[in-house]
Amino acid sequence: MPLLTEDAKGVYVIAVTPFSDTGEVDWASVDRMVDFYEEKGATGLTILGQLGEAPKLTAEESREIARRVISRAKIPVVVGVTAPGLAPMRELADSVMEIGAAGVMVAPPWTLKTDDQIYAYFASVGDVLGKTPWVLQDYPLTTNVTIAPKVIDRIVRDIPTCVMLKHEDWPGLSKITTLRASSDKGETRRISILCGNGGLFLPEEMGRGADGAMTGFCFPEMMVGVVENYAKGNPDRAHDIFDAYLPLARYEQQQGIGLACRKYVLAKRGVISSATLRIPAPALSKLDIADVERLLARQEKRLKEIAA
């Protein structure tokens, strides 16, 4: 499978990990999910991230899921390899690259503070990963680490295997602007910037020079629609699509309960057989489900209106 490069574009969907009602990995749903994401226009998949419930998997399960997804998918697969130490990170990265992953993704440990500490950490990551291309995940809300644009520039300049930024700083629009200015002036390489944060700022992020999305909202149609229409020079159409999905996307972006909501919708759409999360995990209450159902009904109505 081709390796991830700075030219990556489009929508890399953050995949869930489907479980049966009793918490076993549900392999049939894994296959169905891969097919679903491809049918909806995903250009890549990202697995074993936080929202793939990676920390709840045994090492063996992680490897098996990676193997299954990679062998099924016709599109590139990025694998989350964030780990408490560099040695286990390398172990997992090497094993998934061997079976055909396109690249890996790394978030910083919560203890990093100064610019130099952050840079040094990712320099070490680059060292231990060897030739494997990797994605820098910049998500201060959950990592506790704020990475200044100049630190990202320095990493990009010094470490050629860093080919993509998963951008989910908040607010982050000026960050994209600053990073693109650096590469436009030739001060750094231009790497791929795919945006997370549940897609909540996707149209504006595309307007600042992002290359697409890397997030897991339960309607990948939204991300695909926004990215494609921006690429085609139709920002208004992109916003129309975005606005129709925004109420649900906002609801799904709640920390904790959001993943339960995502799985609920994916199950309802027939993609996965069960909405089950492995424990420990919050469950949707009846009131939560009523909220989601209302949002789904309103969304469907609005989508029809804007299709007309």
| For a copy of itself, the closer CB: 186 or 256 | 256
| For a copy of itself, the closer CB: 45 or 54 | 54
Distance between CA atoms of 233 and 294, rounded to whole angstroms?
A: 32
| For a copy of itself, the closer CB: 100 or 282 | 282
| For a copy of itself, the closer CB: 117 or 273 | 117
Sign of CA dihedral 162, 168, 170, 172: positive
| For a copy of itself, the closer CB: 233 or 256 | 256
Residues forming the site for a copy of itself (CB under 8 A): 54-59, 61, 83-88, 90-91, 110, 113-117, 120-121, 124, 140, 144, 146-148, 150-151, 170-171, 173-174, 177, 200-201, 204, 207-208, 235, 239, 242-243, 246-247, 250-251, 254-258, 278-280, 285, 287-288, 291, 294, 298, 302
CB of 23 to a copy of itself, least distance (A): 10
CB of 118 to a copy of itself, least distance (A): 9
Distance between CA atoms of 155 and 85, rounded to whole angstroms?
A: 19
| For a copy of itself, the closer CB: 1 or 257 | 257
CB of 109 to a copy of itself, least distance (A): 9
CB of 53 to a copy of itself, least distance (A): 8
CB of 228 to a copy of itself, least distance (A): 19
CB of 258 to a copy of itself, least distance (A): 8
In sequence order, the β-bridge partners of residue 214 are 12
